[in-house]
Structure 1
């Protein structure tokens, strides 16, 4: 287990009229946030230490202090293991007096830490995990889901792609619960939009040879081959699809969980024509370009939605502490539910009663190498998916907190 600490950042004075009251309402004279994620495994590029760097940027941009008290970050590698993550979180809460934990890549980790945090009366803001269960059956008053989820990916890459003409589908699906869920949810939206499912094939987790599966997909004649998998499974399937000339032959690849970091790792030659959904693209607005350039200067890479979302989550948490006038958990959680989200990541975002932050998502297509203007110029934005369409309405989420 690796734990890194960063001390208090530079001082930003708060109104002296409020200083005395604020000092009395910040526990332990410090506001402490933990960034807990995969820093050495298959999702290290997906979030990893770059998410931690984004969190540091948020603290610095906020001024390093809130309510006249310093903000401190700690981070650790959970190794994609729920028990490891829970042990770290317990130590952070019981010994290190951490106030909130964020990022939480991997759904099993996020669910375990969110449940523990509810017991400990602490806030979690998940930016790296996919499951809708976080804001569904296992929602808590103190748990927030900030970036993407399986529903939004299915709506974006499934439903929206049908509207772009991709009305027949064949799935390559990882043979475990995550893959089944992605295929099932995406199929629902494809059918709702008038599309057809021509077939599917399941592959073992972490397989190396996709040739037989890709040949079945190619032979189906489907306009879209949906990759209901993640991480190295998706990357390897895309590499081998490129060798088969599937995109060049007129079929589209739809990666149901893929980000800019993985596209960069593959390269445009292999990833060209790929369709995917993200909640952030660095080259979409002047504001996103300016922030992403600062992120690049620190990390050597452009951010994906996990990195930008982690920045947003830390920034919004600090705003909520300031608005509440305390770091007391229930008061801060109430402010997180009330306050709109307006930053480099989301515009007019809103948090539902189930803790789901609702904001616009984007359907992307990876450019051909000849169309790219240079490094990291990878996406064409095909469509904007309004937040109310991308995410499950709180009333329909299955969250017992929602009346």
Structure 2
């Protein structure tokens, strides 16, 4: 009898402690782990910090139940530095979720640590498909990947499109993964890759890679790189007049900040793919206006993804709190994020698959000629839409083992 009373006392005591914990507002800390001064700083960087802050402000304005704070650090494009920051944040910094992390190698390391610590990784900036493939995690969701980038661009290899492709690719996880996926899709659509050249991160001289592409019999030169690398490559395509013989240049990852850095005289007619553009509809324009007021430039899809992911994460935590569940349980938070579909203010109809891949439409754009642009930042002309399901690797082909 005494043992039974003691057991009841322990159970009641635990329940009272849990109730007491929620008598005070639970607190969550989000770490924006980003590139502040190197090749990805323009594509993510302070822009992702600002987008995260906007999402938190909107959450608080809507009466969110949880106190939210942020911390920011630069991983310096080094997996060891990124890993050390993630561990320190999780172990002693009180961080519950990490967002951004554009460098794919760093992102893979952060995803592994996040699972070990049962936290949350909102992978809004890295493109490697490994995060929702063979290295998928119940603690990670990914807002876009290389398959999405490749799917729209590779449609050009269909019946009436160019057939011969030459890749200039970044020689690290992102570039190798993107070239592999795109090659498979190009061949599936009847095209052929006739050559490729790989370059290190942050290279200043693309002449040898571009001249090799220019001297090939390819119809298309495909740039599978990112950040300042793609800016440099496109500038040198123009400088060396690589397209003078009729070759077309496509860039798998050239967000609006890249186009702005190039200018329309250089970037005109470039084919790109993005799941977000600031001037798509009233909601994207409203967000862009608020973002521009702080950053003095328009957001790209990576930065919009940070806003979207943080908004979905915080809404899911509110649901956990309302059900008396622990909002600091990373797996529970991700599981809640995956429940059902929602109408995202920036990406439209969205859902998250069991492998962690966020599903939403993406678009094929052609960059306008200077004469076609009617206002500042008016760069994109939509020429196609790829449905969310078509822009993601079929789930039955995924190497992810999550159930």
CA contact (8 A) 1:66 1:321 kept: no
Which of 30, 54, 59 pairs up with 1:57? Answer: 54
1:16 corresponds in structure 2 to none
CA contact (8 A) 2:40 2:228 kept: no
CA contact (8 A) 2:352 2:358 kept: yes
**SS, match of residue 116 in structure 2:** helix
| Counterparts in 2 of 1:121 and 1:208: CA distance versus 1, 3 Å | closer
TM-superposed deviation, 1:247: 4.1
**SS, match of residue 364 in structure 2:** strand
Cα distance in 1 between the residues matched to 2:104 and 2:24 = 30
**SS, match of residue 348 in structure 2:** coil
Q: Max radius of gyration: which structure? A: 2
CA contact (8 A) 2:157 2:190 kept: no
| Counterparts in 2 of 1:22 and 1:279: CA distance versus 1, 3 Å | farther
1:265 lines up with 2:261 in the alignment: yes
1:11 corresponds in structure 2 to none
**SS, match of residue 338 in structure 2:** helix
| Counterparts in 2 of 1:190 and 1:209: CA distance versus 1, 3 Å | same
1:189 lines up with 2:190 in the alignment: no
Question: 1:167-246 maps to which residues of 2 (within 5 A)?
Answer: 167-246=163-242
Cα deviations across residues 10-68 of structure 1 (Å, max 9, x unaligned)? xxxxxxxxxx9987349983122111111111111010011110011011111258663
Cα distance in 2 between the residues matched to 1:26 and 1:123 = 24
TM-superposed deviation, 1:248: 5.4
Cα distance in 2 between the residues matched to 1:265 and 1:163 = 34
TM-superposed deviation, 1:103: 1.0
1:129 corresponds in structure 2 to 126
TM-superposed deviation, 1:360: 0.8
| Counterparts in 2 of 1:143 and 1:239: CA distance versus 1, 3 Å | same
**SS, match of residue 390 in structure 1:** coil
Query: Over aligned residues, Cα RMSD in angstroms?
Result: 2.4
2:246 corresponds in structure 1 to 250
Structure 1 moving runs of 4+ over 6 Å: 20-23
1:96 lines up with 2:93 in the alignment: yes
1:379 lines up with 2:380 in the alignment: yes
| Counterparts in 2 of 1:353 and 1:297: CA distance versus 1, 3 Å | same
TM-superposed deviation, 1:376: 0.9
Cα deviations across residues 119-145 of structure 1 (Å, max 9, x unaligned)? 111111100101111111111111111
**SS, match of residue 24 in structure 1:** helix
1:36 corresponds in structure 2 to 33
CA contact (8 A) 2:51 2:304 kept: yes
Cα distance in 1 between the residues matched to 2:82 and 2:197 = 33
Q: Which runs of 5+ in 2 are unaligned?
A: 1-16
Question: 1:69-84 maps to which residues of 2 (within 5 A)?
Answer: 69-84=66-81
Cα deviations across residues 351-382 of structure 1 (Å, max 9, x unaligned)? 11111111111111111112111221111111
2:9 corresponds in structure 1 to none
Cα distance in 2 between the residues matched to 1:334 and 1:178 = 27
Range with bigger deviation, 288-297 or 341-350:
341-350
| Counterparts in 2 of 1:48 and 1:177: CA distance versus 1, 3 Å | closer
How many residues in Structure 1 have an aligned counterpart in Structure 2? 382
Cα distance in 1 between the residues matched to 2:159 and 2:199 = 28
TM-score by length of 2: 0.88
